[in-house]
């Protein structure tokens, strides 16, 4: 019983960390990365479609993204979606591909982005704590319904706290890596 609750907690906390990683990948650094734009929704024949399902996104140089759509008719829609996303990037359309040059970040912009990263890291911590609270409640319910002993419930809570601490350290590490990446000139 307790092992099932702990396994569920580990699974859900792992998903929270993975969601944070994906979220942080969309924050622009000085380098080109497909994660910056692959989540963008493009109005493709009336249906909002993720950009990575319409085109190949490549990084031929450290500061350049190249988008090569499989359907040339979608070039205008992709360009419009990039403008709408307000990423601070200016698409260059040559009729076959779209080039996105990633400009150098200013010191002020870097500091703003670090604040955004810290906010997202805090949201990740809150998500992990919410999972802990749910599992804590489940352990208490199991003890109330006499499915586990009080000692087993306390052992489960201690183990749950250790798991939570491990995932919060992982979130901290992911956030510190992104901050270091942003502040690297």
Q: How many domains does the chain have?
A: 2
Q: What is the mean pLDDT of the chain?
A: 88
Give the integer Cα–Cα distance in Å for 101 and 91.
8
**pTM of this prediction?**
0.71
| Mean pLDDT, range 25-41, rounded to an integer | 79
* CATH classification at residue 174: 1.10.132.20
* CATH classification at residue 43: 3.30.1360.40
| Mean pLDDT, range 92-117, rounded to an integer | 86
| Mean pLDDT, range 159-179, rounded to an integer | 94
| Structural domain range at position 92 | 34-101
Q: Are residues 176 and 120 both part of a single domain?
A: yes
Order of strands across the sheet with 55-61? 55-61, 64-69, 98-101, 91-93
């Amino acid at each position: 019983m307790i092992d099932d609750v702990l396994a569920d907690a580990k699974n859900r906390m792992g998903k929270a960390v993975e969601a944070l990683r994906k979220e942080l990948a969309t924050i622009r650094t000085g380098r080109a990365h497909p994660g910056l734009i692959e989540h963008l929704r493009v109005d493709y024949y009336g249906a909002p479609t993720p950009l990575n399902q319409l085109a190949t996104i490549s990084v031929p140089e450290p500061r350049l993204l190249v988008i090569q759509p499989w359907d040339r008719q979608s070039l205008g829609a992709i360009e419009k979606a990039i403008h709408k996303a307000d990423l601070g990037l200016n698409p260059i359309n040559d009729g076959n591909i779209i080039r996105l040059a990633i400009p150098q970040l200013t010191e002020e912009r870097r500091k703003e982005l670090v604040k955004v990263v810290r906010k997202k890291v805090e949201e990740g911590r809150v998500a992990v704590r919410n999972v802990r609270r749910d599992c804590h409640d489940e352990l208490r319910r199991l003890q109330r319904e006499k499915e586990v002993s009080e000692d087993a419930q306390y052992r489960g809570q201690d183990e749950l706290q250790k798991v939570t601490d491990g995932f919060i350290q992982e979130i901290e590490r992911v956030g510190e890596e992104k901050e270091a990446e942003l502040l690297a000139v």
